[in-house]
Amino acid sequence: MDLKQVKSGPPRQRRKRVGRGESSGVGKTSGRGHKGYGARAGNSRRYSYEGGQMPLYRRLPKRGFNNIFKKQFACVNVSQLNRYADGEELDAERLNADGLIQIRKHGLKVLGSGDLKKKLTVRAQAFTRSATEKISAKGGEAQVVPAKKGLRR
């Protein structure tokens, strides 16, 4: 590349200078209308301002309750684990890779719905009592492991 190939970019637009005489088209009130809050310096309304009318978020009733201590698990039933071979070791990453779950904040929880026909070692953050019984009844193992920090979404 040499100096002949250098091109200038698009021209920069200058800031509009308002209030410079009537004939400029943006003189007198400088595009601010007449009087009121919007004509003053430092005016900025919140995004939900409705001109003094009672705002929508105050007109609608409050509903429900958000529990900030609720634990969000990705759940899988023991009957869904029958697709794996005898003696396999399963964890949240493996089930996520196979499309059985989407990993949640607090990891994986195994539920006891259905029957288990294979001997499996399952590592999860939580088990129901019936899931633990069904896994151990087939000679498998239910291991409780803490949630990994990298799994949080």
CATH of the domain at 147: 3.100.10.10
Question: Could you tell me if residue 98 is inside a domain?
Answer: yes
Which whole number is the average pLDDT over 54-60?
Answer: 95
Residues above pLDDT 70, as percent of the chain: 97
Question: Could you tell me if residue 121 is inside a domain?
Answer: yes
Give the pLDDT score at 84. 95
Q: pLDDT band at 147, cuts 50/70/90? A: confident
Question: Could you tell me if residue 39 is inside a domain?
Answer: no
Question: Could you tell me if residue 124 is inside a domain?
Answer: yes
Q: In what order do the strands lie in the sheet with 74-77?
A: 74-77, 108-111, 126-127
* Structure token digits, residue 15: 């800031």
Q: In terms of residue numbers, what domain contains 125? A: 74-151
Spatial CB neighbours of 139, under 8 Å, sequence gap ≥ 6: 119
Question: Could you tell me if residue 138 is inside a domain?
Answer: yes
As for how many domains the chain has, the answer is: 1
Question: Could you tell me if residue 64 is inside a domain?
Answer: no
Question: Could you tell me if residue 116 is inside a domain?
Answer: yes
Prediction pTM value? 0.59
Question: What's the full length of the chain, in residues?
Answer: 153
- The residues pairing with 2 across neighbouring beta strands, listed in sequence order, are none
